[in-house]
Amino acid sequence: MTEHKVTSPVLDVRDLHIEFDTRHGALKAIDGVSLQIAPGEILGVVGESGAGKSLTGTAITGLLESPGRIAGGKIHLEGHRIDTLSQDEMRRLRGRRIGAIFQDPLTSLNPLYTVGRQLIETIRTHLPMSKAQARQKAIQLLSEVGLPAPETRIDQYPHQFSGGMRQRVVIALALCADPKLVIADEPTTALDVSVQAQIITVLKRLCREQGTAVMLVTHDMGVIAEAADRVAVMYAGRLVEVGPVAEVVKSAKHPYTQGLMNSIPTVLHDVERLEQIEGSMPRLTAIPEGCAFNPRCPHAFSRCRVERPNLIAVGDSDAACWLVEDMEEPLLPRSETAKTATLSDHHV
């Protein structure tokens, strides 16, 4: 058990299962995912596309659409269970307790209305304010997210803003009613690199100042390293590793996370060429027995092919890998063959 689980978390997801009903039966898209986020903490959720990161976020906001459905598990927000709430109760939570930021700021705003109208509408949905008060609050929000001249820009239409500025507007919209949790789904992916850093800074500042918990969904380890406090790595709908960012980046426990880290270019390590993980993530229809990663894993042994590993605490992290069972230090080539040794050569 690590210490952050002791403080009462804003978001507590336990053993979440999401299934899609299809002609060929139910597909398991999320299989036993558990997450906690403390107040003021940014949890990065990372994985390849299709790993289920966004889906987890969607389920928490209660916006899962048919044929997808929550098939098991519990979601608690500030101690209250929310996955059993009615649609209308859930709607009241959205925007009020849970803010959401989407990937593409170009398409997240309704092109036919001014940003002011969209802000005021959201504020007045959740807070008892007059139009004038809401407008004041909207201007204040816009300036908080770093939009210059908010008094004039509030009356402009989305197409009059650049991508980065639009994403700031989207963030302002997500923060309208001071939510306790913000789910940011690839908030920087559609932006220029220079703008990405600005958006991350804004997010981090708001999180620190207002004690908001943030679930930052991305496939970009660089963004995670820069913004997140902790990181959760997902693979094929399962959690493979959770831990403090520094720990996971420096000494990943799960072979998949290691592969992920090796595939990132860094300035610190002078690598000849980037590593890549052989093969590709299985489709939902063909997730292998045992550990979902075993066909691509360079260290897979017989147990990995039959028995599914649960998260096991190693150091400050948890990893779902049989290799780390009973280990104090990661990847000690104890019972395993030379294969493992070569990998640690690579890594350490």
Partner 1 sequence: MIAFLIRRLLQGALVMLAVAFIAFSMFRFVGDPVTNMLPQDATLEQRAELQARLGLNEPLPVQFGYFITNAVQGDFGISYRNQRPVSNLIAERLPATMEMVLAAVVLSLVIGIPMGVYTALRRDSWLSHLFQAVSLAGISVPTFVTGILLILVFSVWLNWLPSFGRGEVVELGGWSTGLLTVSGLKALIMPVITLSLFQITLIMRLVRAEMLEVLKTDYIRFARARGLTNRAVHFGHALRNTLMPVITITGLQIGALIAFAIITETVFQWPGMGLLFMQAVSFVDIPVMSAYLVMVSLIFVVINTIVDMLYFVVDPRLRVDTGKNNTSA
Site residues for partner 1 per CB under 8 A: 61, 63, 91-96, 99-100, 102, 104, 107-114, 121-122, 125-126, 153, 156-157, 159-162, 164-165, 170, 173-174, 176-177
| Nearest approach, Cβ of residue 34 and partner 1 (Å) | 23
Which is closer to partner 1, CB of 110 or CB of 337? 110
| Nearest approach, Cβ of residue 91 and partner 1 (Å) | 6
Residue 296 sits at φ, ψ, to 5 deg, of -105, -5
DSSP assignment letter at 215: E
Helices (H), 16-153: 53-61, 87-93, 105-108, 115-126, 131-144, 150-153
Which is closer to partner 1, CB of 32 or CB of 150? 150
Which is closer to partner 1, CB of 92 or CB of 283? 92
Q: Give the closest residue to 145 by CA, choosing from 205, 68, 61.
A: 205
Q: Which two tokens stand for residue 340?
A: 């493992």
Q: Give the closest residue to 258 by CA, choosing from 342, 184, 334.
A: 342
Place of tokens 């979902």: 292
Decide: 207 and 42 in contact? Cβ < 8 Å. yes
| Nearest approach, Cβ of residue 100 and partner 1 (Å) | 4
| Nearest approach, Cβ of residue 45 and partner 1 (Å) | 17
Which is closer to partner 1, CB of 197 or CB of 332? 197
Decide: 154 and 119 in contact? Cβ < 8 Å. yes
Which is closer to partner 1, CB of 173 or CB of 239? 173
Which is closer to partner 1, CB of 2 or CB of 156? 156
Residue 93 sits at φ, ψ, to 5 deg, of -70, -40
How far, in Å, are 28, 148, 188, 297 from residue 159 at the CA level? 39, 16, 18, 46
| Nearest approach, Cβ of residue 246 and partner 1 (Å) | 31
Decide: 285 and 303 in contact? Cβ < 8 Å. no
| Nearest approach, Cβ of residue 81 and partner 1 (Å) | 18
Residue 290 falls in which region: left (phi positive, over 0), alpha (psi -120 to 50) or beta: left
Q: What's the sign of the alpha-carbon dihedral 262, 266, 268, 269?
A: positive
Single-letter code of the amino acid located at 344: S
Which is closer to partner 1, CB of 112 or CB of 132? 112
| Nearest approach, Cβ of residue 126 and partner 1 (Å) | 6
| Nearest approach, Cβ of residue 3 and partner 1 (Å) | 32
Decide: 9 and 58 in contact? Cβ < 8 Å. no
Which is closer to partner 1, CB of 85 or CB of 312? 85
C-beta atoms surrounding 20 within 10 Å: 18
